[in-house]
Structure 1
């Protein structure tokens, strides 16, 4: 088993912050590694950009009788709220103020999940792990709305007490697929819709996903013996079996109709995804999750570089290759824990 690519680079000791106290409803059967039940906790699918995660999320949007899907909720606080962490809109106060998420804090998001759970539905969160971390170069600190300060060994903005309330799962995709897809969304003509006008390597999200994974293992919030890690290739090659196994592991009742989406499902998804216009057009145009019609072609480094240079130009190709190579060890580390299909 490979060791974490981040060994030796974890955040060191910090003074203990006050824990955020809240009581998200949970009902269930199986106990997690910390002795608490997991099936019924808010479900957190932690991922990175362009991991086919929105197609995955659409499957569970069909289950509106038992689940309430939260589409990238922590992006509200990370990019736009008064506690914003990202550099992307740091010097663009007008965009932040104009956002519907301008008042979102990490505490208000947690409180919102709590309210949904109390009303009897299970929260299903699909979100980027990097939204829980200060960007590179910034010290680890708990979000001000959750008490500020810091916790020893915790590099995220959420107190450990809050992290323990989630049932965490992970969704990954090979960087050679995800990074070029992300880059495409940050250059014209797609960037005219997404509003992301520059490619920022620290938004690739793999390193933060590993840091979150390692933190949760250290704190016994998850166990490497039974953690659920999905690879997007498995989802695309074996959609029904992947969804069946995920449901079994997370206490969700599988229904075949989850894989086929009607008009009501499409309208619901369109409203949920509107906050990130331009990022999810392909999945919004689809009416089902089905397997790939043909196997992925084998690629060499040379053929990939040639393809990226033709699509984006030679300078962009170098940037993409650098970011892909930097994140392959993170992907491979997490992939060793993936759910076998």
Structure 2
């Protein structure tokens, strides 16, 4: 029997890899790390760190990746970590028809500040929110906020699992440090913090100072963030 697909859509720098670790640590779950990243890089010509390595490691054909996701075997659940702006050039959302979708959100100012530390072009964060909202309006799905997860990991994950129609596992709360074979080819640039983690880090309220240009990007996401925030699961 094919696994039940769990598809998480998230913007970048939004504890998305931490969430992937959480699901992968379950006994009944395999993961797919950003399977459409090469498709996005090829379609956009974006100059991301480890671009060539990423394209060499994955198919850059949309239909091929969709087929691969539907053909996975070996666990009850298959968790898919998707960065939403990867679908800026996607032909449609049909590849999600058989998946249980949820949205992971975060305060755009925090996302912009974190993403800028890794990549200069932060504008795709705007695309992520626009794409997620377009999908949500076609097909409403559970929403969780990264800050809620960090403030109350167990309660928020229990609520998420219930909304997804799956059981909660205590193993979702902690995991061994280090990289995984399932990590994407880009991991050495992006995953240093999560590789050092053994669980959800405590939530910290941080003072964020952005340049005028970065504030403009964050403001462009504000309406969509508010839309999702008002619909998020509250444990």
Q: TM-score, normalising length from structure 1?
A: 0.62
Q: 2:173 aligns with which of 259, 266, 273?
A: 259
Q: 1:67 aligns with which of 22, 29, 32?
A: 29
Q: Which has the larger radius of gyration?
A: 1
Change (3 A) 1:95 1:333: closer
State the number of aligned residues.
235
Cα pair 2:11 2:83 within 8 Å, conserved: yes
Alignment partners' CA distance in 2, 1:247 and 1:98: 31
Q: CA deviation at 1:240?
A: 1.1
Pair 1:128 & 2:37 matched: no
Q: CA deviation at 1:243?
A: 1.1
Cα pair 2:88 2:127 within 8 Å, conserved: no
Change (3 A) 1:78 1:241: same
Structure 2: tracts of 5 or more residues without a match: none
Structure 1: tracts of 5 or more residues without a match: 1-23, 27-39, 135-155, 187-198, 309-316
Q: Once superposed, what is the RMSD of the aligned Cα atoms? A: 2.8
Q: How does 1:31-46 map to 2 (within 5 A)?
A: 40=4, 42-46=5-9
Pair 1:85 & 2:43 matched: yes
Q: TM-score, normalising length from structure 2?
A: 0.86
Output one character per residue of 1:244-279: Cα deviation in whole Å (capped at 9) or x when no partner.
11112213322222212136xx343x6515533221
Alignment partners' CA distance in 2, 1:216 and 1:233: 20
Change (3 A) 1:71 1:339: same
Question: Residue in 1 aligned with 2:199?
Answer: 288
Alignment partners' CA distance in 2, 1:97 and 1:286: 25
Cα pair 1:46 1:168 within 8 Å, conserved: yes
Change (3 A) 1:217 1:328: closer
Looking at both structures, which has the greater relative contact order when contacts are Cα pairs under 8 Å and sequence separation is at least 6?
A: 2
Alignment partners' CA distance in 2, 1:287 and 1:211: 31
